[in-house]
Structure 1
Amino acid sequence: MRLTRRGVFVLVAAAVCYAAGELAGYPLFRALAGIALGAVLVAVAVARFRPKVEVGRTVHPDRIERGKPALASLTVRNVGTRRHGGFAAGDRIGTETHGVRVRPLAPGAEATYHYELPTAHRGRLEVGPLVLNRPDLFDLARGERTVGGTARLWVYPRRHAVRPAQAGHPRHHHDGPITDPPLRGSADLQVVRQYVVGDEVRLLHWKATARTGQLMVREYADPAQLRCTVLLDTRPAAMTPAVFEEAVEVAASVLFASASAGQHCRLITTTGTDTPVDSGLRVARTVLDELCLVTQDAADDAPLLAAPLAAGRRPGGVVLVLTGMEADLGPARRWRPDTVIRLGARQRGVSAGAGTIVAVDAADAAAQWNSLLAGTA
């Protein structure tokens, strides 16, 4: 509970009137001081009253593409034994607050309120808790209390219609891709792990089972599995914030399309964030969650590709680099990227070398990417 500015002013005025009444001997001033002090005390008593309510909140959908609508549903239930007369509340949305006027509720009754959530900016948005605010009639004091939990809204970068990455198939332990015919099956042992229900019995590793006392199975790598790796430049000097958002959209578009097409995908940033995922829509969400939170958090003088990664082997499949117009690839050249997309061009149709796309924005980059893949199909 706290006094408002008006409440503080009335309290100071009461003290001044009382002092003036005592010094000048005017009973009217003392009466006015008593009335003002009484109003403040009543306001404090009203503000301290807190209705007993329970709050439930849902966000639908909880993951949405930037710019598309998302709805929050707020349910307020009176769990007290008396009817309350309604109150003002505010539901927190990130750093902002959405005002809610809760109507009077009988004991056990509930009311549901709906409102749209802001989705103009990429990021993770915390919704809630609900802040109960009960001001008095003259707004001399306010009592605030938070109730209910929070919900999260993931605002994904906008995705464009793009073709999935195309690459040859790695042949076992040999370097370099092949294209025809694609391999089916493999004798490359990837890992020995504990048996889970549903594994094929023929894959049981008896030596490991005897050694550990638990059923162990062999898991093989599939050389016919296409792969796509996206290296995103997160150096502030490489791109302006607006251009960086376009680059994030391109990364989300390519990775989502490739994962949906059955490819294993991998997102790498300048700071060394490395997010590998399997194929499929379910695991594609992991990459989109990472792109929802990615920022330009690398140092301006940092290399595009972190040294530990640059020293390792080149990832299999397609390697795509997303950076700015003048950014230096540096150690990333060791990976021999298949395509480098440079964003931030001032006009469309800028000529570029083989394997390089120069684009104005994400839509332009997506169109050129589709044309490039259509020409190699």
Structure 2
Amino acid sequence: MRLTRRGVAVLAGAVCSYAAGEVAGFAYFRGLAGVAAGCLLAAAATTLLRPRVEVSRTVYPDRIERGRPALATLLVRNPTPHRQRGFAAVDRAGTAAHEIQVRPLAAGVDTTYHYELPTTVRGRLQVGPLAVRLSDPFDLVHAERAVGGIASLWVYPRRHPARPARVGHPRHHHDGPITDPPLRGSADMRAVREYQPGDEVRHLHWKATARTGQLMVREYADPARTRFTVVLDTRPAALSPAAFEEAVEVAASLLYASAAAGQPCRLITPAGTDTPVDSGLRVARTLLDELCVIAQDATDEAPLVPPPLAATRPVGAIVVITGLDADLGPVRRWRLDTVIRLGFLKPAAGPGSITAVDATAAIAEWNASRAGTS
């Protein structure tokens, strides 16, 4: 609750009138001050009576690529047996505010309002609650009351059409044992489990089926299945804020393309983020959620990969996304597939290195280097 300019003027007049009445001894001025004070109190009491409405909100889609349209739908309902007067309201989405003039509502009636949400900045956007603006007839006091809940809009980084990571290096014995979740699709049996619709009938395990009384199938793993790891540099000294946004777009493009191509993926950052997922579009959302809220939260002194993670090289293809002059540290000893450096254009250091000014150029070079691979 706050006084408007008119309310401040009335309050100042009340104080001056009362002071003049006390000094000059005129009851008229004291009475005038009392009337002004009474008006302010009545105005404040009026703003305490907020409309009794129910507010629900939906955001569609709840996950959207940066720059693409997203819509908020606001349903305002009058649950009382009496007519509700109209009122002004503000629905906030992040730092943006959308003003809504709610029409008068008859008993039990609802009305719907639509508006577009801002999607120009990557991140998780909080939408709501609805702030009802209340004022008195004389415009002396303004107040806002929160009504209804909140919703979230995940604004993903933009994705550029990218080729998945190439078949990569063959898996050697020195890469260590498989520690990822079980992978399906090859000739190495990992386990026997219950049959699920869609499983290959030729994989039925008849002995286990006879023993348990339920259909059981063999689950296979592929030790040589391509895996893809992205190391994204989140140290502030490595990338400027603008270049970091481009780096996030590169990471999102490569991880999404590789996951969609059936490759298990993993995201690592200097701050300790370690997000391994299996393949497929459904699990790719886990990586996109992570990249939606990721920030330059590592210290400048931190190594590119935390020591516990740097001790063992990830299996499969590895891509590092960093700045032009950033130090790779111990990661340099890994068998890196590609190092992508973003910033002002410089000549590439050699094979396995991409230098680009932005995500569009970086992905274009990536696609060109993988032309003809699968």
**What is the TM-score when the length of structure 1 is the normalising length?**
0.86
Cα 1:327–1:205 change in 2 (3 A) is farther
| 2:231/2:319 contact within 8 Å kept | yes
User: How far 1:222 sits from its partner (Å)?
Assistant: 1.6
Matches within 5 A, 1:1-377: 1-4=1-4, 6-168=6-168, 170-171=170-171, 173=173, 175=175, 185-187=186-188, 189=190, 202=205, 219-312=219-312, 314-346=313-345, 350-374=347-371, 376=373
Summarize deviations over 1:210-241 as a string: whole Å, max 9, x none: 9xxxx998754223532211110111111111
User: How far 1:351 sits from its partner (Å)?
Assistant: 3.7
| 1:184/1:223 contact within 8 Å kept | no
Cα 1:102–1:60 change in 2 (3 A) is same
User: How far 1:330 sits from its partner (Å)?
Assistant: 0.9
User: How far 1:52 sits from its partner (Å)?
Assistant: 0.6
Aligned alpha-carbon RMSD (Å): 2.9
Alpha-carbon distance in 1 for matches of 2:6, 2:142: 11
User: How far 1:5 sits from its partner (Å)?
Assistant: 5.3
Letter in 1 for 2:97: T
| 1:243/1:343 contact within 8 Å kept | yes
User: How far 1:193 sits from its partner (Å)?
Assistant: 8.8
Moved more, 7-16 or 196-205: 196-205
Cα 1:203–1:372 change in 2 (3 A) is farther
User: How far 1:361 sits from its partner (Å)?
Assistant: 0.7
Aligned length: 361
Letter in 1 for 2:229: T
User: How far 1:90 sits from its partner (Å)?
Assistant: 1.4
Which 4+ residue blocks in structure 1 deviate beyond 3 angstroms? 1-6, 25-28, 168-176, 192-201, 203-206, 215-220
| 2:205/2:218 contact within 8 Å kept | no
Alpha-carbon distance in 1 for matches of 2:128, 2:349: 49
User: How far 1:170 sits from its partner (Å)?
Assistant: 4.3
User: How far 1:9 sits from its partner (Å)?
Assistant: 4.0
Cα 1:10–1:218 change in 2 (3 A) is farther
Letter in 1 for 2:366: W
Moved more, 132-141 or 166-175: 166-175
Match of 1:179 in 2: none
Cα 1:37–1:204 change in 2 (3 A) is farther
Alpha-carbon distance in 1 for matches of 2:139, 2:272: 53
| 1:204/1:218 contact within 8 Å kept | no
| 1:231/1:267 contact within 8 Å kept | yes
User: How far 1:196 sits from its partner (Å)?
Assistant: 7.8
Cα 1:234–1:216 change in 2 (3 A) is farther
Moved more, 357-366 or 24-33: 24-33
User: How far 1:297 sits from its partner (Å)?
Assistant: 0.8
Structure 1 residue ranges without an equivalent (≥5) = 177-182
Letter in 2 for 1:352: A
Summarize deviations over 1:325-352 as a string: whole Å, max 9, x none: 01111111232111000110236xx243
User: How far 1:7 sits from its partner (Å)?
Assistant: 2.6
Alpha-carbon distance in 2 for matches of 1:187, 1:123: 41
Cα 1:362–1:329 change in 2 (3 A) is same
Cα 1:193–1:323 change in 2 (3 A) is farther
Moved more, 19-28 or 263-272: 19-28
Alpha-carbon distance in 1 for matches of 2:196, 2:352: 46
| 1:165/1:254 contact within 8 Å kept | yes
User: How far 1:306 sits from its partner (Å)?
Assistant: 1.2
Alpha-carbon distance in 1 for matches of 2:19, 2:187: 95
User: How far 1:104 sits from its partner (Å)?
Assistant: 1.0
User: How far 1:4 sits from its partner (Å)?
Assistant: 4.0
Alpha-carbon distance in 2 for matches of 1:203, 1:137: 82
Alpha-carbon distance in 2 for matches of 1:268, 1:219: 29
Alpha-carbon distance in 1 for matches of 2:84, 2:327: 65
Match of 1:180 in 2: none
Cα 1:43–1:185 change in 2 (3 A) is same
